[in-house]
């Protein structure tokens, strides 16, 4: 099996290095204990992306302990759900996530969404108060890096004005149909690493004629073409699969390079469509 020994990493402004390829663990499509064990034991996956919302932190904790992989060799990201926003709630939610995962620190903790509903507070005030909790968890060492998810430029600008720590990473939908280059450029300028989710557009991009043509040309699968393209664009990439063979396939993306023209062809597929959410609902 041609699995890389170590995946390349991307440096965060916290001083830590996040593996560029991780395993998505969203609740859509279910959870497979065997697939996660296979990823850890046989595919050298060392980066796991979950969230309180996915309801599987405890199961992931069990799989990690069963796998025998050492805590210090893993990168674990989890996310704070908006129902837990506010200083006290966010602090407690983080400690609860650590307990469920069976760890005493997180590698990365993200505010899952920018929309906030705290009575008597504006969304901006709610985000700032919640972010203050993440900053304190970061100063205490409970979270080695902190970040946000689904934040647009104006959310990041407001946070910058109100807070001390600039988010180390922003995780946003990113695949050939959804390539928010203005946001990527903003993050690059502000030293915020761009994490991309849904790299396969939940499978929707895998039958596009351009992807099929490139898969044939490179002797790779459509999923490998999409993951390679995302990584080559410098994006931290977290495909999900509940199938052992697909996790293995999705890891085998370091032994080829897409030519500039082919990267450009995939870049051109952007039509702005979202496969997960409607941005008009984000305040």
Of 14, 78, 91, 150, which lies in the binding site for ligand NAP, with binding defined by CB under 6 A? 150
Distances (CA, A) of 192 to 11, 16, 174, 219: 10, 13, 15, 34
Cα(255)–Cα(152) distance, integer angstroms: 34
Q: Is 202 in the site for ligand NAP (CB under 6 A)?
A: yes
Number of H helices, E strands in the chain: 10, 10
Among the listed residues 203, 209, 283, 189, the one whose alpha carbon sits nearest the alpha carbon of residue 250: 203
Q: What share of the chain is helix, strand, coil (3-state, %, to 5)?
A: 45, 15, 40
Cα(109)–Cα(215) distance, integer angstroms: 35
Nearer to ligand NAP, 137 or 211 (CB): 211
- Range 63-122, binding ligand NAP (CB under 6 A): 112
Residue 172: its H or E element: strand 169-173
CB of 142 to ligand NAP, least distance (A): 20
Nearer to ligand NAP, 83 or 203 (CB): 203
Active site residue 54: yes
Q: How far is CA 249 from the centre of its chain?
A: 19
Instruction: Give the per-residue contact string, 222-261, with ligand NAP (x = CB under 6 A; - = no).
Output: -x--------------xxxxxx--x--xx-----------
- Range 180-199, binding ligand NAP (CB under 6 A): 197-199
Q: Is 33 in the site for ligand NAP (CB under 6 A)?
A: no
Nearer to ligand NAP, 65 or 245 (CB): 245
Q: Is 208 in the site for ligand NAP (CB under 6 A)?
A: no
Nearer to ligand NAP, 47 or 144 (CB): 47
Angle at 238 between CA 254 and CA 236, to 5 degrees: 70
**What is the pairing mode between strands 169-173 and 23-24?**
unpaired
Q: Is 16 in the site for ligand NAP (CB under 6 A)?
A: no
State the catalytic residues.
Answer: 54
Q: Applying CB under 6 A, which residues contact ligand NAP?
A: 24-26, 28-29, 49, 112, 149-150, 171, 197-203, 206, 221, 223, 238-243, 246, 249-250, 276
């Amino acid at each position: 099996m041609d699995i890389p020994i170590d995946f390349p990493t991307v440096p965060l402004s916290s001083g830590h290095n996040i593996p560029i390829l991780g395993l998505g663990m969203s609740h859509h499509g279910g959870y497979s204990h065997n697939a996660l064990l296979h990823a850890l034991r046989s595919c050298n996956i060392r980066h796991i992306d979950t969230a309180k919302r996915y309801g599987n932190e405890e199961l992931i904790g069990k799989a990690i302990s069963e796998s025998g992989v050492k805590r210090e060799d893993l990168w674990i990201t989890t996310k704070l759900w908006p129902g837990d926003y506010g200083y006290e709630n966010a602090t407690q939610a983080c400690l609860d996530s650590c307990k469920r995962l069976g760890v005493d620190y997180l590698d990365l903790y993200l505010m899952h969404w920018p929309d906030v509903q705290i009575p008597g507070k504006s969304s901006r005030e709610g985000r700032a108060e919640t972010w203050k909790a993440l900053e304190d968890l970061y100063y205490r060492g409970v979270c080695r890096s902190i970040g946000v998810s689904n934040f647009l430029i104006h959310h990041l600008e407001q946070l910058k004005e109100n807070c001390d720590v600039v988010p180390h990473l922003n995780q946003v939908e990113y695949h050939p149909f959804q390539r928010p280059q203005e946001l990527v450029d903003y993050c690059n300028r502000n030293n915020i690493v761009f994490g991309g989710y849904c790299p396969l557009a939940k499978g929707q991009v895998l039958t596009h004629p351009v992807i099929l043509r490139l898969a044939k040309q490179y002797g790779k699968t459509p999923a490998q073409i999409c993951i390679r393209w995302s990584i080559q664009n410098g994006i931290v990439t977290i495909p999900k699969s509940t199938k052992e063979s697909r996790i293995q396939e999705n890891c085998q993306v370091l032994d080829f390079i897409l030519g500039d023209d082919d990267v450009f062809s995939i870049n051109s597929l952007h039509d702005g469509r979202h496969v997960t959410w409607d941005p008009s609902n984000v305040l």
